[in-house]
Amino acid sequence: MTLNKNPYDNMLEQLDAAAQIAGLSMEEYITLRYPEREFTINFPVEMDDGRVEIFTGYRVQHNSVRGPYKGGVRFHPHVNMDEVRALAAWMTFKCAVADIPFGGAKGGIAFDPSTLSQKEIERITRAYTAGIMPLIGPEVDIPAPDVNTNAQVMAWMMDSYSKYKGRNTPGIVTGKPVSIGGSLGRREATGRGVSFMVREIARQLGIDLEDATVSIQGFGNVGSVTAESLYSMGCKIVAVSDVSSAIYCENGLDIPSLIAHVNRHPKHLIEGYDQDGLEPIDNPTLLTLNVDFLIPAALENQITKEIAMNTKARIIVEAANGPTTFEADKVLEDRGITLVPDILANSGGVTASYFEWVQNLQHLSWDESKINVNLERKMVSSFEAVYNTALEKNTSMRMGAYIVALYRLVEARKLRGIF
Ligand code: NAD
């Protein structure tokens, strides 16, 4: 996977372009161009064979004008400050589009968890939590899962924080297991939200979801739940991929059996899956297939200018954060390919995280139907705000989403003032 462009520059280009369309002066939004606080830690961890290794972790707190910092923690060998900074900024805009009272943050540790034992990953997680301890708190900065982190990692973070503080503090992270204060429906919320966005844009463009074709890059938490949810809406998922392989089936993949296979696989991968009519393909082929919906659900900078020029997808719904480069965006717009942007499309995760946090602060738990009804209501209303703003300003939905977020953020800054 090529991470060829500094994702923070990509974010700044999107932000400046939206501010210009919204008619905002640099002075009004300049604070959003700079992260408020950045933190790098190098910490030692004892490995299973007795060696001591140094790991590098990051936490960037981009903006808190609308509420406490909020954002996931990523474990990946490519994690670096530029990436974490961009992801933190996207969280600020995403929480503003979703209209939830959080700011934006992100964290990460540069390592490959697939090569380490669970015990090693646990020690790394706990050491990282101790390292960022001065920065986080249930009403200060609330981490969550992202790429290669899950409910178990959140349980270790919550336990480490609670031990240090001497009191149980479930509200320090979201995306926890349900048995220790997590929320029903949180794990599925991002993918479920992506499928609501597919349904809403299909409705606007008069596309029947029954037998609409879909290809999905990435089959982790977000990609697999999106596939499951769209499959249940009647879509035909013709291609999926992950780090191990990419597969295509003209008649549609049997998503329930693919998910059962991935759950059985020791590394939760699609490699080794088989069904009638299955063909192996490669990543560029998956991204350029002739489908109604292309859903990138892996990492950033996947839809490059070249992919944008060649893709035959009709609509792109960004489940991943920052999967499309700024240059590719322009090509897609010129080619009339509709794009539902990340800060709207994948905001279901942070919205359900907000519900989890509210439950933790109030020491109560909602049933799953309450989560799902509220998730759908919030996401449909964000979709309408973004879609109508894009129409009104005669611009893309990406710009529409930034403009909705910018108005809310700039208003909050004006009310709070410069201090
Ligand atoms: P995950 O670790 O569960 O899954 C990532 C998937 O991408 C895996 O299937 C992995 O094999 C695949 N992948 C990695 N490199 C690939 C490559 N080169 N080609 C094809 N597939 C590749 O992570 P996730 O939580 O599903 O996150 C996916 C994306 O969604 C990220 O951009 C993340 O920031 C974003 N996101 C996640 C959440 C959430 O709630 N988990 C919320 C909002 C946005």
- Nearest ligand 1 atom to the CA of 244 is 11
CA 150, CA 148: separation in Å to the nearest integer? 7
Residue nearest atom 10 of ligand 1, based on CA coordinates:
242
What tokens does 181 get?
A: 């204060």
Catalytic member of 5, 106, 236, 378: 106
Residue nearest atom 23 of ligand 1, based on CA coordinates:
147
* Residues with C-beta less than 6 Å from any ligand 1 atom: 1, 145-148, 190, 217-223, 241-243, 283, 297-299, 319-321, 346, 349
Q: State the sign of the Cα–Cα–Cα–Cα dihedral 139, 141, 147, 152.
A: negative
104-109 and 69-75: which strand pairing?
A: parallel
CA of 318 to the centre of ligand 1 (A): 11
Residue nearest atom 41 of ligand 1, based on CA coordinates:
146
Which residue type sits at 270? Answer: I
246-249 and 236-241: which strand pairing?
A: antiparallel
Domains by residue range for the chain, with CATH: 35-168 (3.40.50.10860), 188-345 (3.40.50.720)
- Nearest ligand 1 atom to the CA of 322 is 32
* Burial class of residue 50 (count of CB atoms within 10 Å of its CB; 0-12, 13-18, 19+): exposed
CA 202, CA 143: separation in Å to the nearest integer? 33
CA nearest neighbour of 372 among 170, 229, 205, 204: 229
CA 294, CA 370: separation in Å to the nearest integer? 30
Ligand 1 binding pocket mutation candidate from 242, 261, 303 (most atoms within 8 A of CB): 242
Give the model's pLDDT for residue 4: 56
Residue found by looking up tokens 């999905």 in the block:
216
Q: Is 106 a catalytic residue?
A: yes
- Nearest ligand 1 atom to the CA of 145 is 41
Give the model's pLDDT for residue 3: 45
Residue nearest atom 42 of ligand 1, based on CA coordinates:
349
* Burial class of residue 19 (count of CB atoms within 10 Å of its CB; 0-12, 13-18, 19+): buried
DSSP class of 231? H
CA 205, CA 73: separation in Å to the nearest integer? 36
What tokens does 216 get?
A: 């999905």
CA of 269 to the centre of ligand 1 (A): 12
How far from 161 is each of 75, 179, 325, 338, CA to CA, in Å? Answer: 19, 17, 37, 43
Residue nearest atom 18 of ligand 1, based on CA coordinates:
1
CA nearest neighbour of 34 among 78, 80, 76, 92: 92
Give the model's pLDDT for residue 326: 86
Residue nearest atom 29 of ligand 1, based on CA coordinates:
320
- Nearest ligand 1 atom to the CA of 246 is 20
The answer for residues whose C-beta is within 8 angstroms of residue 209's C-beta and 6 or more apart is 198, 199, 202, 230, 233, 234, 235
236-241 and 213-217: which strand pairing?
A: parallel
CA 155, CA 174: separation in Å to the nearest integer? 9
CA 100, CA 216: separation in Å to the nearest integer? 28
CA of 243 to the centre of ligand 1 (A): 10
Average pLDDT per consecutive 10 residues, the chain (419 residues; last block may be shorter): 69 94 97 98 98 98 98 97 96 98 98 97 98 97 96 98 97 97 95 98 96 96 97 98 97 98 96 96 97 96 96 98 92 96 97 97 95 97 98 96 98 96
Q: State the sign of the Cα–Cα–Cα–Cα dihedral 117, 243, 224, 157.
A: positive
Neighbours of 87 (CB within 10 A): 29
Neighbours of 285 (CB within 10 A): 16
- Nearest ligand 1 atom to the CA of 1 is 18
Ligand 1 binding pocket mutation candidate from 83, 183, 186, 222 (most atoms within 8 A of CB): 222
Residue nearest atom 30 of ligand 1, based on CA coordinates:
320
CA of 218 to the centre of ligand 1 (A): 6
Residue found by looking up tokens 């942070």 in the block:
350
> Contact, 242 vs 269, CB < 8 A?
yes
CA of 277 to the centre of ligand 1 (A): 26
Helix (H), strand (E) at residue 65: none
CA of 163 to the centre of ligand 1 (A): 30
CA of 41 to the centre of ligand 1 (A): 24
CA of 131 to the centre of ligand 1 (A): 25
Residue nearest atom 32 of ligand 1, based on CA coordinates:
320
Degrees to nearest 5, angle at CA 63 with 139 and 362: 20
- Nearest ligand 1 atom to the CA of 94 is 43
Helix (H), strand (E) at residue 182: none
- Nearest ligand 1 atom to the CA of 242 is 21
